[in-house]
């Protein structure tokens, strides 16, 4: 049992929060005067999904659907192509975003790179969803975002409730019996959950395409995996300080996008290398860094701490299973000491898996394990780029040629394909209501609801500092030629400098907390801002890192 009365416990969690999520940058910006440039940027780039679609010349509709457990989801439909022509294909297309994302992720790059817009031009009726808790889906029939109960969900609930509600709504609105499903990252996870736990929805899926598929995460090399062991206590902290809400859209994100992520030096060092490449894999050639300001202005879009904890659990397990409450609570919820696994072998939907060979979040070994579990796999292939990372499947320079065009070909093929669902004889109109009366396990302040971990056995920041270079090297791809070796060595040095500075900063806060007085935190922030502008750049120069690249 965690001793929450220990005086430094909550502050240690805050220290970890700063380091693990790199939120220090947001605190710095919040203490920096807003500039006229941020207002200009907001008008230029920080548009909503609807505004982006309209700006690119497409019609767009807003639809709301209510899930069985009361969440109100906002969906965005592209009903006609840019020439204002109605859809010509047989089945609508349903696309789902990834973790901490929203429908904006699919369209922020514009029509020349956006898969949904290009599918609309190809004759498809395209629907973009937003899962519970993100920027566009923060409403409920009886709860508010200020209640713990609103944020009491994992990926399990999105698969069991959000997807079925959206699918039923789309099929009714389009007078269709089936639809195509395209998921990115978490959007693939929740589909596998729905198909496993709600098998009556399998006949409603014409085809499924998984971009950067995520189910098994055991072999992930992402830097976030090293922090997964802390997820239980961090989850508890967020239950207390934000009712369980995790990384919602901040009003300072637009300012971040217009400053750090716009200037070439800080964009490449902070936003690209530290945020994106260390988590998703390094691709300094094909990833479109010019999109970073737009990406930053929309993501993170928010989710629940419980959901991110669920993914952290999957990183520490060798299974694709439901949320782990700990032995005692698992018995109450599942009547088993361990959470049930999702039955992937029961999925009879035609599925295509498209992955990146340099995706360090969902690595090839784990995707291959997923492939071996799917009985109706149509295709399984990597993107034609040896350095393709997790987000290249949305935001690479050649996304149209290497991802969007193959996806369109698959949809055109399966749209007319004659196939019969070989599973149980479900009616296409069947709506399973067995989940309506499920008892939700709502956080009530009792830590026994969560797996117990002695926080004093967890690795400290001194461990990370001492092993920082080894951890960073593990995220780097194998170089194909000498130029690549030089580039990745430069990135490694940059990450070492930045993260070591952040570790030192976090430790200094812990030290100063012992003699804390009002205003100490903001003073320390101000001091570190000064360090960022002087010593930090000096550190970079001392490592002879030239990062002024295109």
pLDDT score of 515: 53
**Residues linked to residue 382 through DSSP beta bridges, in sequence order:** 355
Contacts of 195 (CB under 8 A, 6+ apart): 201, 202, 205, 208, 346, 347, 349
Distance separating alpha carbons of residues 232 and 297, to the nearest angstrom:
29
- What's the number of CA atoms in the CB half-sphere (13 Å) around residue 203? 14
Kindly provide the b/e burial profile for residues 266-281, where b requires at least 16 CB atoms within 10 angstroms of the residue's own CB: bbbbbbbbbbbbbbbb
Q: Which of 17-26, 302-311, 460-469, 514-523 has the lowest mean pLDDT?
A: 17-26
- What's the number of CA atoms in the CB half-sphere (13 Å) around residue 93? 29
Could you give the C-alpha distances from 466 to 442, 456, 509, 536, in angstroms and in order?
Answer: 39, 18, 19, 19
Distance separating alpha carbons of residues 332 and 334, to the nearest angstrom:
6
Could you give the C-alpha distances from 441 to 151, 306, 330, 353, in angstroms and in order?
Answer: 11, 12, 11, 34
pLDDT score of 450: 30
> Comparing 223 with 450, which gets the higher pLDDT?
223
**Residues linked to residue 287 through DSSP beta bridges, in sequence order:** 396
Name the band, by pLDDT with cuts 50, 70 and 90, for residue 242.
confident
Contacts of 305 (CB under 8 A, 6+ apart): 151, 234, 235, 238, 239, 242, 244, 245, 246
In this predicted model, what pLDDT tens digit does every residue of 88-147 receive, in sequence order?
999 999 999 999 999 999 999 999 999 999 999 999 999 999 999 999 999 999 999 999
Name the band, by pLDDT with cuts 50, 70 and 90, for residue 408.
very high
Contacts of 54 (CB under 8 A, 6+ apart): 60
Task: Residue 20: name the closest of 471, 339, 545, 409 by CA.
Answer: 471
Q: Would the pLDDT of 236 be above 80?
A: yes
Name the band, by pLDDT with cuts 50, 70 and 90, for residue 525.
very low
pLDDT score of 268: 77
Two structure tokens written together for 142? 């009886």
Across the chain, mean pLDDT equals 80
3-state secondary structure string across 396-441? ECCHHHHHHHHHHHHHHHHHCCCCCCCCCCCCCCCCCCCCCCCCCC
In this predicted model, what pLDDT tens digit does every residue of 161-189 receive, in sequence order?
999 999 999 999 999 999 999 999 999 99
Q: Would the pLDDT of 225 be above 70?
A: yes
Among this protein's residues, is 390 annotated catalytic?
Answer: yes
Could you give the C-alpha distances from 422 to 114, 182, 201, in angstroms and in order?
Answer: 34, 21, 13
pLDDT score of 35: 40
Q: Which of 76-85, 261-270, 368-377 has the lowest mean pLDDT?
A: 261-270
Distance separating alpha carbons of residues 386 and 405, to the nearest angstrom:
18
In this predicted model, what pLDDT tens digit does every residue of 261-301 receive, in sequence order?
777 777 777 788 778 888 999 998 999 999 999 998 898 99
Name the CATH code of domain 34-458 (choices 2.60.40.1180, 3.40.50.150, 3.40.50.1820, 3.30.9.10).
3.40.50.1820
Helices 482-513 + 535-542 axis angle, to 10: 150
- CB distance 247 to 300 below 8 Å: yes
Among this protein's residues, is 185 annotated catalytic?
Answer: yes
Q: Count CB neighbours of 123 within 10 A.
A: 17
Two structure tokens written together for 144? 């508010």
Name the band, by pLDDT with cuts 50, 70 and 90, for residue 10.
very low
pLDDT score of 461: 63
Q: How would you class 9 by CB atoms within 10 Å of its CB: exposed for 0-12, middle for 13-18, buried for 19 or more?
A: middle
Catalytic residue among 114, 137, 154, 185: 185
Kindly provide the b/e burial profile for residues 45-79, where b requires at least 16 CB atoms within 10 angstroms of the residue's own CB: bbbbbbebbeebebebeeeebebbbebbbbbbbbb
Could you give the C-alpha distances from 463 to 31, 313, 341, 379, 458, in angstroms and in order?
Answer: 30, 22, 33, 43, 10
In this predicted model, what pLDDT tens digit does every residue of 12-68 receive, in sequence order?
444 444 444 444 444 334 334 344 334 434 444 579 999 999 999 999 999 999 999
Task: Residue 393: name the closest of 221, 211, 220 by CA.
Answer: 211
Catalytic residue among 180, 210, 390, 506: 390
Backbone dihedral region for residue 212 (phi beyond 0: left; psi -120 to 50: alpha; all else: beta): left
Block residue for tokens 């716009």: 262
Q: Count CB neighbours of 512 within 10 A.
A: 14
Q: Would the pLDDT of 362 be above 50?
A: yes
């Amino acid at each position: 049992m965690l001793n929450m009365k220990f005086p430094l416990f909550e502050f240690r969690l805050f220290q970890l929060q700063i380091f693990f999520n790199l939120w220090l940058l947001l605190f710095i910006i919040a203490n920096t005067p807003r500039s006229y440039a941020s207002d200009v940027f907001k008008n230029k780039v920080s548009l909503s999904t609807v505004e982006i679609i309209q700006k690119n010349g497409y019609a767009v509709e807003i639809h709301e659907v209510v899930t069985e457990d009361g969440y109100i989801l906002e969906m965005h439909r592209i009903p006609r192509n840019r020439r204002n022509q109605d859809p010509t294909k047989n089945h609508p297309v349903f696309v789902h975003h990834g973790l901490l994302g929203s429908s904006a992720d699919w369209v922020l790059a514009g029509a020349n790179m956006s898969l949904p817009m290009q599918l609309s031009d190809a004759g498809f009726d395209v629907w973009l969803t937003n899962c519970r808790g993100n920027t566009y889906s923060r409403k409920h029939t009886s709860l508010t975002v200020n209640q713990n109960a609103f944020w009491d969900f994992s990926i399990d609930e999105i698969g069991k409730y959000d997807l079925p509600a959206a699918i039923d709504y789309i099929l009714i609105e389009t007078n269709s019996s089936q639809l195509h499903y395209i998921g990115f990252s978490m959007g693939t996870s929740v589909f596998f959950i729905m198909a496993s736990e709600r098998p009556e929805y399998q006949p409603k899926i014409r085809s499924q395409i998984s971009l950067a598929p995520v189910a098994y995460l055991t072999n992930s090399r992402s830097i976030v995996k090293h922090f997964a062991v802390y997820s239980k206590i961090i989850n508890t902290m967020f239950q207390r300080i934000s009712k369980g809400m995790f990384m919602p859209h901040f009003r300072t994100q637009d300012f971040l996008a217009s400053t750090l992520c716009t200037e070439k030096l800080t964009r490449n060092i902070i936003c690209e290398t530290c945020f994106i490449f260390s988590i998703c894999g390094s691709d300094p050639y094909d990833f479109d860094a010019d999109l970073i300001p737009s990406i930053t202005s929309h993501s993170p879009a928010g989710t629940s701490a419980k959901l991110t904890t669920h993914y952290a659990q999957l990183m520490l397990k060798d299974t694709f299973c439901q949320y782990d409450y700990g032995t005692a609570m698992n018995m109450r919820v599942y009547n088993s000491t361990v959470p049930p696994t999702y039955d992937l072998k029961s999925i009879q939907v035609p599925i295509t898996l498209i992955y990146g060979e340099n995706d360090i979040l969902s690595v090839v070994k784990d995707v291959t394990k997923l492939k071996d579990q799917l009985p109706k796999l149509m295709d399984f292939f990597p993107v034609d780029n040896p350095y393709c990372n997790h987000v290249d499947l949305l935001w690479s320079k050649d996304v149209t040629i290497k991802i969007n065009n193959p996806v369109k070909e698959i949809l055109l093929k399966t749209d007319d394909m004659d196939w019969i669902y070989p599973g149980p004889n479900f009616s296409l109109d069947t709506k399973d209501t067995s989940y309506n009366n499920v008892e939700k396990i709502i956080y009530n302040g009792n830590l026994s609801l969560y797996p117990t971990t002695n926080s004093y056995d967890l690795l400290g920041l001194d461990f990370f500092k001492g092993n920082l270079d080894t951890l960073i090297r593990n995220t780097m791809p194998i170089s194909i030629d000498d130029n690549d070796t030089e580039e990745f060595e430069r990135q490694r040095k940059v990450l070492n400098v930045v993260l070591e500075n952040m570790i030192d900063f976090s430790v200094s806060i812990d030290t100063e907390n012992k003699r804390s007085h009002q205003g100490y935190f903001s003073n320390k922030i101000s001091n570190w801002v000064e360090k960022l502008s002087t010593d930090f750049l000096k550190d970079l120069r001392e490592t002879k890192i030239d990062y002024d690249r295109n």
